[in-house]
Structure 1
Amino acid sequence: MRYFLLKADKGYTYTPRIVNLHTQIDVRDLKKGSYYKIPKRFLLRIQSNPDTVYTDIITHPLFLISDKIKRVLEKYEPNLNYKEVILLDQEFGRAEKYHLPTLEELECLTPASVFNTDKSILHKIVIDINKSGDKCMFALGEVTNRYVIVRLDFVESMLRRGAKGFTLQEVETVKGGD
């Protein structure tokens, strides 16, 4: 099976830009052990812009997915929990609902992966697919920044439903140290 790094599509100039994240939640609580501290539903303001395009995937500063992606993900990962996030453009009176999934952080990088010195940036991703289990979407656990990996069949399901706003970069895979 093929796996990909899921990234925001830089071709979209006017995507939602969150302005009040740190006043609403403590980003340290995004880790599995303290995820319960984040409210089940919360509102985040975004920079006002009449040309904002609400893409199906937002990767920064939070990993958020649209209803469309959530419906697909629920078919592959029925036991995931989500926090509901409302993105509000106050000036133009527009609000869009997104979901913050509780992605499992897997430690599946191999020694062939290449990091920067503080392990915040991955220059080369090589994952051991035996350690990824049957997860269709997961976060890499060995790095400080969020890297979301998706499986090919899940990507195909998103694309069939017309999902937009993301790009894919294929990652190298090995099976148990091959």
Structure 2
Amino acid sequence: MNYFIMSHDERVYNAVKPMGVSQVITKEMLDEEHIRKMNKVHFQFPISEQNEAEYVDFIQKPIPLVSDRCKQLMEKYVPHMCFKSVVLTDQKQPRQDVYWLIVPPRVHCLSVENEFHKDGTVKRLIIDEQKAAPYKIFRIDGILEDYILISLDVAESLLRRGFTGIRLKKVEKEGVYER
């Protein structure tokens, strides 16, 4: 099976940008246990002011957020994945949109062939397909980066439905060199 890194499409220059998120939700809180504890907490963040902001289906930073439509599709593939609602508010124009903080499970699936830079970041990401095979949407355990990986069938579903703001990059598999 093929896997893809799901990232924000930087070609969408006017994508909405939530503000003040890092002061409320830290990277250490981005695990299933912390998110489930915050079940009764409601998050609302303003977006940065810009002319004609585009409400994309995936916001990668500062935390991974997906649109309601994208969440519905992901739940079909991973029904028990942890999501937390987040409201993005445009104060200039009276508009509020529900996005979902996505917290995929962390999977230890790094290949021994993986290569790292001296600072510990990934130089060449290679996964062990057998360890990743049971998962459709997941994060990689054991690396500094917070990549979200999706399986080929999830990627195809996203592409067929015209989601915006999503870029996909194929991940190498152990023993297969795709240069």
TM-score normalized by structure 2? 0.88
1:115 is matched by which residue type in structure 2? F
Residue number in structure 1 paired with 2:81 = 80
1:163 aligned counterpart, secondary structure: coil
Residue number in structure 1 paired with 2:154 = 154
CA RMSD of aligned residues (A): 1.8
Deviation of 1:24 after TM superposition, in Å, equals: 2.7
2:168 aligned counterpart, secondary structure: strand
Residue number in structure 1 paired with 2:118 = 117
Which string of whole-angstrom CA distances, capped at 9 and with x for unpartnered residues, describes residues 81-103 of structure 1?
21001111212222211111221
Deviation of 1:39 after TM superposition, in Å, equals: 4.6
Alignment check: 8 A CA contact 2:57 2:165 kept: yes
CA distance in 2, matches of 1:42, 1:99: 10
Alignment check: 8 A CA contact 2:111 2:126 kept: yes
CA distance in 1, matches of 2:70, 2:154: 10
Residue number in structure 1 paired with 2:12 = 12
CA distance in 1, matches of 2:132, 2:173: 10
Q: Is it true that 1:141 corresponds to 2:141 in the alignment? A: yes
- Segments of structure 2 that go 5 or more residues without pairing to the other structure are none
Alignment check: 8 A CA contact 2:32 2:82 kept: no
CA distance in 2, matches of 1:20, 1:57: 18
- Percent identity between the two aligned chains: 29
2:171 aligned counterpart, secondary structure: strand
Residue number in structure 1 paired with 2:47 = 46
Q: Is it true that 1:91 corresponds to 2:92 in the alignment? A: yes
Alignment check: 8 A CA contact 2:113 2:174 kept: no
1:167 is matched by which residue type in structure 2? R
Residue number in structure 1 paired with 2:170 = 170
1:31 is matched by which residue type in structure 2? D
Deviation of 1:31 after TM superposition, in Å, equals: 2.5
CA distance in 2, matches of 1:38, 1:141: 23
* Deviant stretches of 4+, over 6 Å: none
Alignment check: 8 A CA contact 1:7 1:59 kept: yes
CA distance in 1, matches of 2:4, 2:24: 31
1:173 is matched by which residue type in structure 2? K
Deviation of 1:64 after TM superposition, in Å, equals: 0.8
Worse-superposed segment, 125-134 or 109-118: 109-118
Residue number in structure 1 paired with 2:63 = 62
Alignment check: 8 A CA contact 2:114 2:126 kept: yes
- Segments of structure 1 that go 5 or more residues without pairing to the other structure are none
